Amino acid sequence: MQKVYLDNAATTQVRDEVIAKMQEALASFYGNPSSTHSYGRSAKTAIEKARKTIAKILNAQPSEIIFTSGGTEADNMILRCAVRDLGITTIITSKIEHHAVLHTAEELKREYGISLQFVDLDENGNPKLSHLEELLLQDGAKKLVSLMHVNNEIGNIVDIDAIGKLCKDHDALFHSDTVQSVGHYPWDVQNTPIDFLTAAAHKFHGPKGIGFAFIRKNSGLKPMIFGGSQERGFRAGTEPFHNIVGLEEAFVKAYDNLEEEIKIVRNLKSHFVKKLKREIPEVNFNGLSDDLEKSTYTLTNVRLPFDKQKGLMLLFHLDMKGIACSKGSACQSGSNLGSHVLNEILNDEELEKPSLRFSFSKYNTLEELDYTIAVLKEFADS
């Protein structure tokens, strides 16, 4: 049986260079970065080097990079602190955001009584910018807009510059969950109208448990986690030094090889989409996930022409054949409620058909994709 990993939107294989860097850190630089002796100073120096490296690639200032445990913490921190510290009384988002944003916004509505508004989506799942502008114009409330750059389930890419400009024109703050795009697309935060973004290392071949928030200088946000003075006092707690150097290495390798790896992965997706359409002509793609220009090159979301009963066995069948994929994000794939993203953009008849997310990386091969499609076709014909 072949083993094929096509769930890279959930997490990615860690690069060998990252593992080596982390092993070295664990073995040789184990001092507490807050300690003043040489062991601590060595660790602290490496953390600040990582911060500067990431900032340089993003065209940010080192002080604007705050290390977190990942994207979920970073999203929570930004939204919560914006309401608590900046007087935000309205959050505008969409119903297909990651739950790290949606559930945080819902909780803030319960705790603080803020207004929670949802921008309308078109038939493909993209936010309607005309409706966003209407919401921004509604009243004089202080607003924060939170819209993800690349949707983690259907891969749609929103126009980050157009959204940012609208926010700037109407004095609203703009946060974007960029977990699926940082490490996969170039970023220049000084020339992008955005106030906050979030990233997670394990989405671009780094370790789990580490990420960062970009928080624009002089934002006014105050700490959410209290204790020591780590992260310039913004996030207390002893820094996971080995994870931070792993994040740095993964980030550098992602951007050093970005053009080449985009070409490799884009070719994989193109091959998969074309061949799947040829082998199973009745297949459909959710959102714009078969469009290589309007969706990310890293994933596609496939709706297969099987009835509900047969569809219940599909993921199990693929797993038995050694193929790893998902029916939605890994965060909700165990839920019986189905995908909240697909529930928003598909009708009842379409929702009866099984949908799967296949996501790709540089470690995949055309042969693996051909095997996966052969397994799907065999299942369709059975």
Residue 328 confidence class, pLDDT cut points 50, 70, 90: low
Specify whether 81 is catalytic. Answer: no
User: Which phi-psi region, left, alpha or beta, contains residue 308 (left: φ > 0; alpha: ψ -120 to 50)?
Assistant: alpha
pLDDT for the residue numbered 152: 97
Q: Token match 């002796």: residue?
A: 37
What pTM, to 2 d.p., does this model score? 0.95
Residue pair 119/96 in contact (Cβ under 8 Å)? The answer is no
pLDDT, mean of residues 284-306: 97
pLDDT for the residue numbered 29: 85
Alpha carbon dihedral 161, 216, 179, 353, in 10-degree steps, equals -50
pLDDT for the residue numbered 330: 52
Tens-place pLDDT, residues 141-172: 999 999 999 999 999 999 999 999 999 999 99
* Residue 190 pLDDT exceeds 90: yes
d(CA 211, CA 199): 5
Tens-place pLDDT, residues 72-114: 999 999 999 999 999 999 999 999 999 999 999 999 999 999 9
Render the burial of 334-371: b for 16+ CB within 10 Å, e for the rest.
eeeeebbbbeebbeeeebebbbbbbbbbbebeeebbeb
pLDDT above 90 coverage of the chain, percent: 91
The DSSP line for 43-91 is HHHHHHHHHHHHHHHHT--GGGEEEESSHHHHHHHHHHHHHHHH---EE
pLDDT for the residue numbered 254: 98
pLDDT above 70 coverage of the chain, percent: 97
CA-atom Rg of the chain in angstroms: 21
* Residue 11 neighbours by CB distance under 10 Å: 18
- Per annotation, catalytic residue among 81, 167, 325, 331: 331
d(CA 302, CA 120): 23
* Residue 334 pLDDT exceeds 70: no
Residue pair 111/86 in contact (Cβ under 8 Å)? The answer is no
**E-strand stretches of the chain:** 4-5, 65-68, 90-93, 115-118, 143-146, 173-177, 196-200, 211-215, 284-285, 299-303, 323-324, 355-359
Token code pair at residue 201: 């290392």
Residue 381 confidence class, pLDDT cut points 50, 70, 90: confident
Residue pair 269/360 in contact (Cβ under 8 Å)? The answer is yes
pLDDT for the residue numbered 308: 84
pLDDT for the residue numbered 166: 98
Domains and CATH numbers, the chain: 4-12+258-381 (3.90.1150.10), 16-256 (3.40.640.10)
pLDDT for the residue numbered 336: 57
Token code pair at residue 242: 């080995």
Going 117 to 288 to 100 to 76, the CA torsion angle's sign is: negative
* Residue 286 neighbours by CB distance under 10 Å: 27
* Residue 329 neighbours by CB distance under 10 Å: 20
* Residue 329 pLDDT exceeds 90: no
Burial class (CB in 10 A: 0-12, 13-18, 19+), 115: middle
Tens-place pLDDT, residues 213-270: 999 999 999 998 999 889 988 898 999 999 999 999 999 999 999 999 999 999 999 9
pLDDT, mean of residues 201-217: 98
Residue 327 confidence class, pLDDT cut points 50, 70, 90: confident
Which residues face 324 on adjacent strands? 5
249: nearest Cα among 46, 64, 60: 46
d(CA 173, CA 170): 9
d(CA 176, CA 216): 13
Average pLDDT across the chain, whole number? 95
